[in-house]
Amino acid sequence: MRSPSALFLRLALAVALVACDESKLAPTGPAVQSGQSASAPSSSTSPAENTPQTAAGRALDALLALRSYRDLALSPDGKRIAYSVALDPIGAPSRRSVFVIHLASQAAAPERITAAGSDTASERWPAFSPDGKRLSFVSQPTDGGPPQVWVADIEGGGAPRVLATIPGSVDAPMWSPDGARIAFLFSDRSSKTPQDPTAPTVYDRSAHVPSRRVDVLDLASGSTSRASPTDLHVHSFAWAPDGRTLVGVASSGVRPNYFAAKLYAFPADGGAARVIHEPKRQIGDPRVSPDGKRVSFIEGLMSDEGNTGGDLFVVPLDGGAAKNVTPGRKATITAARWRPDGRSLVVDEIIEDRFALSAIPVDDGTPETLFEAQASFFGFDLTADGEQVAFIHTSFNAPPSVWTGALRAPAPIASTQQRFSEPWGKVEVIHAESDGRMIQSFLVWPPESALPARPAQGVTLPLIVRLHGGPAASATAAINEYLALAADGYFVLLPNPRGSFGRGVEFQEANVGDLGGGDLRDVRASVQAALEAAPIDPKRVGVTGWSYGGFLTLWAVTQGREFRAAVAGAPIADWQSYYGQTDVTGWMPPYFGASVYDDPTVYSKRSPILFAKQVTTPTALIVGERDTDCPAPQSREFWQALAALGIPTELAVYPGESHGFSSPAHRRDRIERMAAWFGRHMQP
C-alpha cells in the first residue's frame, strides 16, 4: 500500500519546480510558492542554512540529536536486550546498527553486533533464538543492494556469519520455536528495476503493487521457501508453538488492502490457508497461545496500518467464534503477549493521558494494572516465563531510553539514558466538556523565561493547537518535534478529540460518518479550556496538524475564524480527488460508510476545497514531494484556491520526502518555517 504512483510523483515534482518569482529554492530545501497577494510574502527562512534561525530550530536540533531506539528484543531467558539505533542521528542517510546489553552488567557499554562491511550497511531487526544464545539481524546495504540475514553466537562468541542474501525486502523476522528456521515478511522489489526512461509508464489493476508474503529461512541449508499462499498479502504474522503452523493478518485480491484483512492460518511448509476470523473492523498483532489452541489479536477501527489499537480478542485456532476479552474497557490496547499458563495476556495500553502494562484474563477474572506512567511505551516484549518486561520509554521530560525489569517495577537501563534539557516548561493535563464527553488534552507551557512576569496584569502569550494524525491515533506523553515551538514562546495544545486512542472503542468510533464534525467541536472546546487554564491571548491562537490533522486544520479554517493563522501539513483538501490519488484508499469507507464511487456526496460535504471562499485565515501548506499517503496535489489544490482568492498563503514542497520526513535538515526547516509563519501572522 506504500508503493509510489509515478504519475503523482511527477505531478508533485512539477509543483516543486514551477515556483513563482518570490520563491527560494536551495539545493536541499523545499520549493516554496507564495500567494499572489502582497500580504503573503515568501518565507523569510532559508531552508539550506545549517545554522538554526530560531529558538524552535535550535530546540529541534537538540531533539534530532537524541538516540532513537527501535526493534527492541528481550531474550527469552531475560539475560539480554537487543535493539537498533541510528549511528549518526542527524546524518543523511541515517544508518542503524544493532547493539546488545548484557543485563547482568548493565553498567557496561552496549555491545555492537555487526556484519562484515557494516560501514556501508544499515542493520535492523535483531531477534533472539528460543534458547537466547543466538541473535539474528538484517543488514541492508546503503547502495540499494539486496539485504542479508546474519546470525551471531551471543554466548560462544566469534564473528557473526551471513545466513542468506534475500532478493527483496526483509521485515519482522521471527525464529521458529525449535530454533531451526526464521520466518520473515518478504516483498519482491524486482518491479522497481529502472526501465527505459523514454518508455511510458503503463498501469493495470495490479501494476507496481509489490506483494508481501511470509518466507521461511532454513538455518542449516541457507535456503528459503514460501510459506503463505500466493493469493495473500500478509501484513503481520506469528508462529504457532508446534512450529508447523503460522497465523497471519492478510488480505486477498489484486491489490493489498489492510483495512479488509482477515486472520488466517497456513502451514509453514506451504499450502492452503484457512480463515480463522473475519473481523468487523481492522486487526493486528496476532499471537498464538502457549498450548497452541487459541489466537489473540487486537481489533478496532484503525486508520493506519501498523498503528494498532482496539480491544483484545481471542479465537480458537481451529476455528470458531471470536471473544472480546476487554468489552467496554476505557483504554486502547496496542500490543499483547501471552503469559506461559495461557490464562492471561500482558498488554501495553493507552489509558487517556497514560500508558500502562496490564494483565488481562482470557476467561474469568478482573484485569489488573501492573505498571503505569504519564509516558509512552513502545516495542514491548516479555520473557518466556512472562515475569520480565522490556520496552522503550519516553515522556515529555525524558528522552527515549530502554526500560526492563519485573512487570510491576521496570526501570531504565543506565547506559541507554540520555541527557536532555527540555526547551519547554511544564505540561498540564486539561479536560473540556463537549457534547457530553470529557475531552483530554496536554497543554505544554513555554519555558519560564518566556512567561509573562505579571500575568495578573493581562500579559498573555500565543497558543498553537497541534492536531494529531490518524484519525485513529493520539497525542501521548512523549517528546515530539512540535514541542520545539514552545521554545519560541508559544503555548502548545495537544488535544485528543473523539476518534482518538485512549478512551475505549466507543470513543474511537465516535467520529464515524462525522469527520470534521464532532472532532472539530472537541478541538474548539479544548481551546476554550486552555484559555481558562493559562495566560493565553485569545486573539493569537494558531492551528497546525499533519495528515488527518492537516485535513482538520484546513476544515477548521473553512468553518470558522477563531484561528489567527494555520499551517496544514500533508493535508487532504478534496476527499473525492484524494480517493484517486492516494495509495491508501481502504481506510476511508469504514469512516464514510461507502466508497467515493458509491456515495460521492458524503465525501464532498467534508471537502475543504469546496468551502475555500469562506477562508480568511492566513494558511501555509507543507508536504513531501513523494508523499503517496496524502499526495502533494492535495496541498497544491488548496494553495491555488487561496492564492486566487487573495488569502495570505504559502506552499512548501520538500524534495525526496514521503509522508514522514526523513531528512533532519528538512525536519528542522519545517519547524522553523511553521514558527516563521505563526510569528508573521500572529503579532499582538
Q: What is the pTM of this model?
A: 0.91
The count of other CB atoms within 10 Å of the CB of residue 262 is 17
Whether the pLDDT of residue 82 is over 60: the answer is yes
| C-alpha distance from residue 319 to each of 67, 231, 293, 324 (Å) | 44, 21, 10, 15
Question: Does the residue 282 lie in any domain?
Answer: no
Question: Does the residue 209 lie in any domain?
Answer: no
Please name every residue paired with 82 in a beta bridge, in sequence order, or none if there are none. Answer: 73, 100
* Whole-number pLDDT of residue 26: 38
Q: Which position has the grid cell 470529557? A: 438
Q: 9-13, 379-383, 428-432, 644-648 — which is least confidently predicted?
A: 9-13
Under 8 Å between Cβ of 453 and 459 = yes
- Which of 206-215, 443-452, 486-495, 658-667 has the highest average model confidence (pLDDT)? 486-495
* Whole-number pLDDT of residue 25: 33
Kind of pairing between the strands at 437-444 and 491-496: antiparallel
Question: Does the residue 671 lie in any domain?
Answer: yes
Q: Mean pLDDT across the stretch 324-333?
A: 97
Same domain, 476 and 584: yes
Same domain, 409 and 467: no
| C-alpha distance from residue 326 to each of 313, 317, 347, 361, 366 (Å) | 8, 19, 11, 9, 10
Burial class from Cβ neighbours inside 10 Å (0-12, 13-18, 19+) for residue 134 reads buried
Same domain, 368 and 450: no
Domain that holds residue 408: 325-419
| 93 upstream amide cis, omega within 30 of 0 | yes
Same domain, 439 and 557: yes
Same domain, 576 and 447: yes
Give CA–CA dist 496/351, Å, rounded. 12
Grouping H, G, I as helix, E, B as strand and the rest as coil, residue 570 is: coil
Whether the pLDDT of residue 4 is over 50: the answer is no
Q: Among the three residues 388, 419, 450, which one is the final residue of a domain in this structure?
A: 419
If you count them, how many residues does the chain have?
A: 684
| C-alpha distance from residue 483 to each of 44, 529, 547, 623 (Å) | 22, 19, 18, 20
**Reported confidence tier of residue 106, pLDDT bands at 50, 70, 90:** low
For 183, residues 6+ apart whose C-beta sits below 8 A from its C-beta are 173, 174, 176, 214, 215, 216, 217, 227, 237, 239, 246, 268
Give CA–CA dist 222/620, Å, rounded. 53
Alpha-helical segments (H) within 381-425: none
The count of other CB atoms within 10 Å of the CB of residue 364 is 6
Question: Does the residue 187 lie in any domain?
Answer: no
Portion of the chain with pLDDT greater than 70, in percent: 89
| C-alpha distance from residue 666 to each of 68, 83, 154, 427, 677 (Å) | 18, 26, 39, 27, 16
Same domain, 437 and 365: no
CA dihedral 475, 477, 482, 484 (to 10 degrees): 170
Question: Does the residue 562 lie in any domain?
Answer: yes
User: What's the count of helices (H) and strands (E) in the chain, helices before strands?
Assistant: 10, 37
C-alpha cell at 517: 464534525
Whether the pLDDT of residue 10 is over 60: the answer is no
Q: Mean pLDDT across the stretch 28-53?
A: 54
Question: Does the residue 675 lie in any domain?
Answer: yes
Q: Mean pLDDT across the stretch 99-103?
A: 95
Q: Mean pLDDT across the stretch 159-168?
A: 94
The percent of the chain in helix, strand and coil, each rounded to the nearest 5, is: 20, 35, 45
Whether the pLDDT of residue 454 is over 60: the answer is no
DSSP codes, 140-179: EETTSPPPEEEEEETTT----EEEEE-SSEEEEEEE-TTS
**Reported confidence tier of residue 92, pLDDT bands at 50, 70, 90:** low
Q: 19-23, 196-200, 491-495 — which is least confidently predicted?
A: 19-23
Q: 157-171, 232-246, 447-461 — which is least confidently predicted?
A: 447-461
Overall domain count for the chain = 2
Same domain, 476 and 523: yes
Q: Mean pLDDT across the stretch 179-184?
A: 98
Same domain, 580 and 510: yes
* Whole-number pLDDT of residue 198: 85
**Reported confidence tier of residue 209, pLDDT bands at 50, 70, 90:** low
Closest CA to 469 of 501, 445, 439: 501
* Whole-number pLDDT of residue 143: 83
Give CA–CA dist 56/484, Å, rounded. 5
* Whole-number pLDDT of residue 105: 79
* Whole-number pLDDT of residue 614: 98
Question: Does the residue 569 lie in any domain?
Answer: yes
Q: Among the three residues 375, 391, 419, which one is the final residue of a domain in this structure?
A: 419
253-310: per-residue pLDDT in tens? 777 899 999 999 999 999 999 999 999 999 999 999 999 999 999 999 999 999 999 9
The domain spanning residue 574 has which CATH number?
Answer: 3.40.50.1820
**Reported confidence tier of residue 89, pLDDT bands at 50, 70, 90:** low
Q: Mean pLDDT across the stretch 89-101?
A: 79
* Whole-number pLDDT of residue 50: 56
Q: How far is CA 84 from the centre of its chain?
A: 17
Same domain, 457 and 511: yes
Kind of pairing between the strands at 245-252 and 232-239: antiparallel
17-32: per-residue pLDDT in tens? 233 323 333 336 788 8
Same domain, 662 and 528: yes
Question: Does the residue 224 lie in any domain?
Answer: no
Q: Among the three residues 419, 437, 470, which one is the final residue of a domain in this structure?
A: 419
Amino acid at 119: D
Whether the pLDDT of residue 188 is over 90: the answer is no
Q: Mean pLDDT across the stretch 180-206?
A: 78
* Whole-number pLDDT of residue 51: 64
Burial class from Cβ neighbours inside 10 Å (0-12, 13-18, 19+) for residue 143 reads exposed
Q: Mean pLDDT across the stretch 342-371?
A: 97
Q: Which position has the grid cell 480517493? A: 579
Under 8 Å between Cβ of 673 and 640 = no
Same domain, 500 and 393: no
Whether the pLDDT of residue 41 is over 50: the answer is no
Q: 225-233 — which CB contacts under 8 Å span 24+ positions?
A: 225/269, 225/270, 226/270, 227/183, 227/266, 227/267, 227/268, 227/269, 227/270, 228/266, 228/273, 229/266, 229/271, 229/272, 229/273, 232/264, 232/266, 232/273
Under 8 Å between Cβ of 224 and 218 = yes
Q: Mean pLDDT across the stretch 343-347?
A: 98
**Whole-number mean pLDDT of the chain?**
90
For 345, residues 6+ apart whose C-beta sits below 8 A from its C-beta are 287, 296, 312, 336, 337, 338, 339, 359, 360, 362
The count of other CB atoms within 10 Å of the CB of residue 374 is 16
Same domain, 433 and 493: yes
CA dihedral 316, 322, 328, 329 (to 10 degrees): 30
